[in-house]
């Protein structure tokens, strides 16, 4: 059977390994973890997706879409928190699946996380480059197209064709060097960036309330036009699936479990705390934005927030918003690359990937070889590849991982009901079931609207299965131990 629930990791051994491991340095406290979550969650998706979702799908009810997406994330987040406190190792959903569903499912999730973190970081780096160009334009500095876009990223009809997206590559290398230098230094840099971008978001919300026109909220839920996802209730669901991308990243907190000082207590705080803070900011931001300008005015706008700023008449806020977006993207790239290297660190320790991915730096205690390798891979994609279509798969892959983690909580509660759990997901089986249903519904809504999303995910997973059965299955330490037994 290709999906048999065999070759599972022993949770007691995982817990013992986590206690005695010295390969990664435990320096992160609860606020560091909350900041990591906020750093990953609040990116430019907030500034761009809000306008698109409002104009094309939900109208002013996009605030409800954010709440729906957040509820789905909350159910998954509660399940992540139980595992992160119980199994405080760097593998995140990959390790949770290994301990409950077995090695085959664990590999699928681990390979799926490659898509979420590595490809997601590449996509974000390309957008970072675009916003850098906009920011520099405020100071009459123009970046040549040849070095700010690749051939595949050049807009149709552009006067000049790009060659390589150099800024996108540079930001990936800079962030990777910071990660190699150490988790504590990375956490401090992330905290500074989080403070900067949250401050700008709060300034926009605070100023915007004074410029709200109540007429812009009528109708709050525009009538459906006759097609699924185009306003009405289905439009709110479609927008929820779209803005879900803005929440991607809170699960990356769990990849830092092996570097948390007190993971049993602090991991739930980091995961759930960052979700609560970001949900409040998202709902307020979208409510103010659609109140300042009518949702129809955001249609086709490359920078929807600029429309709201123009309505408010505070043009000085434009460069600040661009700076916040740059900061937001930088911290997203940092947390994505952090998560990727930590997942591969654990997969390598299990023998499923080459040893170089789990070799830590003798001084900095970071998986530096993995960081260097991914710096080149991610920078290469960001600088040269046509990654836009691949980037659209990220939400689909993440929702799939969330569904698996929720299912894993149910399975482990059934198999080992008496195991000590420092943090317990409340109302089991209700919360995990609701997590499966809500994340599954968002997953279906994305695939129904464009079947290519599902097809690309399946193709990616097929490639992963080829690698697993040709390399990993023969080097699995769990299988080797079972054979010796």
150 and 331 Cβ atoms separated by less than 8 Å: no
Catalogue all structural domains in the chain, each as residue range(s) with its CATH number.
11-477 (1.20.1740.10)
How does pLDDT run across 96-110, given as a tens digit for each residue? Answer: 888 888 888 889 888
How does pLDDT run across 394-415, given as a tens digit for each residue? Answer: 667 777 888 888 998 998 888 8
Residue 314: CB atoms within 10 Å: 16
- pLDDT attached to residue 19: 61
406 and 81 Cβ atoms separated by less than 8 Å: no
- pLDDT attached to residue 13: 75
Phi, psi angle pair for 428, to nearest 5°? -80, 135
- pLDDT attached to residue 485: 43
Average pLDDT over residues 134-158: 79
- pLDDT attached to residue 2: 44
The partner residues of 165 in beta bridges, in order of sequence, read 148
How does pLDDT run across 248-307, given as a tens digit for each residue? Answer: 667 777 767 777 778 778 888 888 888 888 899 999 999 999 999 998 888 866 567 778
How does pLDDT run across 209-258, given as a tens digit for each residue? Answer: 989 999 999 888 888 887 777 888 888 888 887 777 677 667 777 767 77
Q: Is the pLDDT of residue 376 over 90?
A: yes
- pTM for the structure as a whole: 0.77
Confidence of residue 155 (pLDDT cuts 50, 70, 90): low
How does pLDDT run across 435-484, given as a tens digit for each residue? Answer: 999 888 877 776 766 666 677 778 888 998 999 999 999 889 888 887 75
Please give the Cα distance from 105 to 91 (Å, whole number): 14
Q: Is the pLDDT of residue 43 over 60?
A: yes
Distances (CA, A) of 176 to 33, 203, 366, 376, 470: 19, 31, 11, 10, 30
CA atoms lying within 13 Å on the CB side of residue 37: 30
Please give the Cα distance from 173 to 360 (Å, whole number): 19
Q: Report the range of poorest mean pLDDT among 57-66, 169-178, 182-191, 209-218.
A: 182-191
- pLDDT attached to residue 433: 95
Confidence of residue 63 (pLDDT cuts 50, 70, 90): very high
What the block records as the tokens of 154 is 């050049």
Phi, psi angle pair for 110, to nearest 5°? -60, -45
Residue 434: CB atoms within 10 Å: 18
Please give the Cα distance from 227 to 230 (Å, whole number): 6
Phi, psi angle pair for 392, to nearest 5°? -65, -20
């Amino acid at each position: 059977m290709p999906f048999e629930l065999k070759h599972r990791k022993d949770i007691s051994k995982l817990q013992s390994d986590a206690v005695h491991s010295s390969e990664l340095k435990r320096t992160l406290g609860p606020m560091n973890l909350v900041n990591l979550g906020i750093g990953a969650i609040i990116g430019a998706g907030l500034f761009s997706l809000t306008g698109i979702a409002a104009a094309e799908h939900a109208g002013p009810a996009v605030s409800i879409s954010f709440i729906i997406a957040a509820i789905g994330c909350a159910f998954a987040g509660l399940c992540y928190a139980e595992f992160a406190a119980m199994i405080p190792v760097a593998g995140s959903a990959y390790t949770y699946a290994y301990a409950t569903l077995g090695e085959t499912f664990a590999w699928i999730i681990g390979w799926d996380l490659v898509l979420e973190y590595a490809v997601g970081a590449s996509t974000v780096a390309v957008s970072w480059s675009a916003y850098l160009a906009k920011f520099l334009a405020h100071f009459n500095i123009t970046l040549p197209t040849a070095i700010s876009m690749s051939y595949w990223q050049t807009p149709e009809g552009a006067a000049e064709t790009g060659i390589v997206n150099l800024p996108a590559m540079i930001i990936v290398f800079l962030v990777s060097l910071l990660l190699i230098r150490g988790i504590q230094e990375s956490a401090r840099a992330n905290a500074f960036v989080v403070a900067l971008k949250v401050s700008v978001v709060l300034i926009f919300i605070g100023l915007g309330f004074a410029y709200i026109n109540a007429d812009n909220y009528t109708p709050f839920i525009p009538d459906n036009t006759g097609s699924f996802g185009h306003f009405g209730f289905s439009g709110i669901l479609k927008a929820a699936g779209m803005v879900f991308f803005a929440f991607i990243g809170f699960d990356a907190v769990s990849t830092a479990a092996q570097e948390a000082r007190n993971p049993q207590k602090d991991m739930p705080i980091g995961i759930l705390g960052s979700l609560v803070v970001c949900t409040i900011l998202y709902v307020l931001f979208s409510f103010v934005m659609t109140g300042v300008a009518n949702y129809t005015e955001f249609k086709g706008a490359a920078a929807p927030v600029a429309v709201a700023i123009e309505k408010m008449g505070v043009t000085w806020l434009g460069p600040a918003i661009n700076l916040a977006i740059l900061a937001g993207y930088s911290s997203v790239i940092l947390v994505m690359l952090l998560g990727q290297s930590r997942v591969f660190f654990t997969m390598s320790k299990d023998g499923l990937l080459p040893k170089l991915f789990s070799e830590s730096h003798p001084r900095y205690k970071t998986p530096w070889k993995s960081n260097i390798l991914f710096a080149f891979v991610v920078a290469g994609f960001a600088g040269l590849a046509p990654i836009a279509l691949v980037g659209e798969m990220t939400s689909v892959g993440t929702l799939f991982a969330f569904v698996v983690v929720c299912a894993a909580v149910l399975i482990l509660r059934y198999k080992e009901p008496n195991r000590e759990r420092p943090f317990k997901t409340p109302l089991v089986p209700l919360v995990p079931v609701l997590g499966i249903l809500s994340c599954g519904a968002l997953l279906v809504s994305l695939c129904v609207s464009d079947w290519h999303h599902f097809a690309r995910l399946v193709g990616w997973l097929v490639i992963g299965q080829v690698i697993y059965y040709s390399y990993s299955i023969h080097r699995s330490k769990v299988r080797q131990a079972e054979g010796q037994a």
